[in-house]
A and B are shown apart, each in its own frame.
Chain A
Amino acid sequence: MKSSKTLYVGAGLLGFLALVAIFAPLITHYDPTEQDLMNTLLGPSIHHWAGTDPLGRDVFTRLIYGARVDLAIGLSAVILPYIIGVCLGLLSAWKGGKTDSFIMRIVDTFLAFPFYVLAIALVFIFGPGIKSIIVAITLGGWVAYCRIVRSNVLVAKEQDYIHAAKLTGLPGRRILFRHMLPNVISQSIVFAMSDIVLSILAIVSLGYLGLGVPVPTAEWGSMIQEGQPYITEQWWLATIPGLMVVYVGFSLSLIGDGLVARLER
């Protein structure tokens, strides 16, 4: 009972933010990139709920438009590594032998590259932008899924139901995708929840370094960076975007924990 509660609370919190992001134009009438140099660095007021930034843009508006960018990229960035990692993990463990050791050597190599170093190097190649972020998260992220799925498959491979399926002479594809996949997928789905958090953190960090989503698009990482010089007076400029990320991370953690508890039953 308690596990479903965790799951629903997490999903509710995330869903609420997603709705706010989707209906952002209905919630605020400001434009997230429109500057108003007569009204910069205002404190919170009835007109500007979270004040204005150094260029006079409405901070509240930028926060919820930022949710669009960070959530959308964060969620979509894990799809590709998920698919690649799961497929290679399946292939590696299922084929075994040379295929397995070849894929595992590639995995080891990727593991040696710190994610941010890889991301920065890729930004160097493709230039800052969403494309670089997606490529970097894909290159850095598939490895974890590959390892998780591989170890699950190695265990499942020795289970009698897989032996039984093999013995009945079903085609290999059928055994792999109908019998194996549903039984080995759950742990990778749980991991995907925390991976979305990691990818949002990456977007934020790259945004902070000026290597992420190009300005002036509203994005939480670049908002932190823009707010840092004003930290003594307008402390909320850098603080609130970070809290938004913590909020997203918190709800995804709850979803992940809820899923774990549900799967363990």
Chain B
Amino acid sequence: MTTPLISVQNLTVEIKTGRGLLKAIRGVSFDINPGDAIGIVGESGSGKSITLKAILDLLPTNARITGGKIFINGVDLSGLKPKARRALLSDNSAMIFQDAIAALNPVIKIGDQIAEVPRYRLGKSEEESKKIALSLMAKVGITDGESRYDLYPHQLSGGLRQRVAIAIALSGDPKILFCDEPTTALDVTIQAQVLRLLKELRENSGLGIVFVTHDLAVVNELCDDIKVMYAGRFVETGTVENVFTKPTHPYTFSLLKAAPDPDKAVHRLFTISGEAPNLTQPVVACPFAPRCFAATSECQTSEPNLLPMAESLSACFHSKNHVNWASEDSEKSVAR
């Protein structure tokens, strides 16, 4: 077996808040191999963005990794000094952000921002760096690179900005691309273009992609595997096909129901009522139980573990009943 590009094992992260220590991530594990694309899905506050920040050593000062290991190409990050860690991370990975305008430096020309890594990290000459930047611009679909080279971020449209951000991310020739909701701020047609671009990159150059989002449709479009995150843990993982057709966790089931279905003409938006649990308190029961349609008294006894169910993994005491949920839940909805 080959070494995965990245391997996260039982990662935990705590954040110091005014109301106490918040256990934002409570044991998260996954591997990425070349060409893999996984989607991490969850509500805001579920810990999906913190997971990315923890891996990329970008945690705010009030947060820290309290357990677990992260390996890049088999090298343990925790054993490295900050400088070496940063070097290993930037040699292998890159990230694109939700809001491209915030991720681009407002006072530097876009061409110079793209040429920066070849010039200052890889030590290429000025002309060579510019050439690389222009070819990257072409690669991410920015036409007329020569004339756009000297523009500033605010002079570009949202879609172009995100392309610039992707070009910058690719400038260090990464093996893994982390994406923090990069399509959320874009309108639907631009969103589709950016997704197509990411798909091409993955197919043509074997780029591994970790895609964090709350948009299930995007995951369906781009990813092979999906990890559903709730209250700092994965509650269901599996292939996109299996999870989307046969959800084995009530939370996934509700999310899928809540998502607007692009195939149907009527877009009905269900929301899951209730709030996510307070993670400054110890978790003694299933954290989803208060919002769950299938919850019973058993769910109050302990927190369920992630166990095989059908073709997926699910952390629910009632996952074996998943085949009946569609009828059960619709009855309940009618009763309400």
Contact = CB atoms under 8 A, between A and B. Distances in A.
Given A160-B99, A171-B120, A166 B86 contact: yes
Interface string A162-205: 01111111110010001100110000000000000000000000
A161 B102 contact: yes
Nearest to B60: A158
B239 to A, nearest CB: 29
B179 interface: no
B226 interface: no
B93 interface: yes
A174 B119 CA distance: 11
Interface string A90-125: 000000100000000000000000000000000000
Name B's interface SS.
mixed
Given A158-B60, A171-B120, A164 B90 contact: no
B135 interface: no
B108 A178 contact: yes
Contact of A170 (B95, B103, B121): B121
Contacts of B165: 164
A45 interface: no
Contact of B87 (A169, A174, A179): A169
Most chain A beta-carbon contacts within 10 A, residue among B91, B105, B106:
B105
B15 interface: no
Contact of A179 (B89, B105, B171): B105
B24 interface: no
B120 A164 contact: no
Interface string A150-165: 0000000011110111
A96 B87 CA distance: 21
Interface string A52-93: 000000000000000000000000000000000000000000
Interface centre among A165, A166, A168, by most B CB within 10 Å? Answer: A168
Contacts of B60: 158
Contacts of B168: 164, 168
B117 interface: yes
A183 B87 CA distance: 25
B116 A167 contact: no
B56 interface: yes
Contact of B95 (A159, A167, A174, A179): A167
Contacts of B99: 160
Nearest to A165: B105
B180 to A, nearest CB: 9
Contacts of B117: 168-170
A183 B86 contact: no
B269 interface: no
B228 interface: no
Contacts of A166: 58, 86
Contacts of B106: 161, 183
B94 A168 contact: yes
Contacts of A164: 95, 97, 103-104, 165, 168-169
Nearest to B58: A163
Nearest to B92: A169
Interface string B255-277: 00000000000000000000000
B172 interface: yes
B95 A183 contact: no
A174 B172 CA distance: 16
A168 B95 CA distance: 8
Contacts of B56: 167
Interface in B52-99: 56, 58, 60-61, 86-87, 89-91, 93-95, 97-99
A91 B121 CA distance: 22
B107 interface: yes
B89 A167 contact: yes
B25 to A, nearest CB: 18
B121 A168 contact: yes
Nearest to A180: B105
A187 to B, nearest CB: 14
Interface of B: 56, 58, 60-61, 86-87, 89-91, 93-95, 97-99, 102-108, 116-117, 120-121, 165, 168-169, 171-172
8 contacts: A159-B102, A160-B98, A161-B105, A164-B165, A164-B169, A167-B56, A169-B91, A170-B121
Interface of A: 96, 158-161, 163-171, 174, 178-179, 182-183
Q: Which 7 pairs, one residue from A and one from B, show the smallest C-beta to C-beta distance? A: A169-B90, A160-B103, A160-B102, A182-B107, A160-B97, A164-B103, A161-B105
Given A164-B103, A170-B117, 10 more contacts: A160-B102, A163-B97, A163-B103, A164-B165, A165-B105, A167-B56, A168-B116, A169-B117, A179-B105, A183-B106
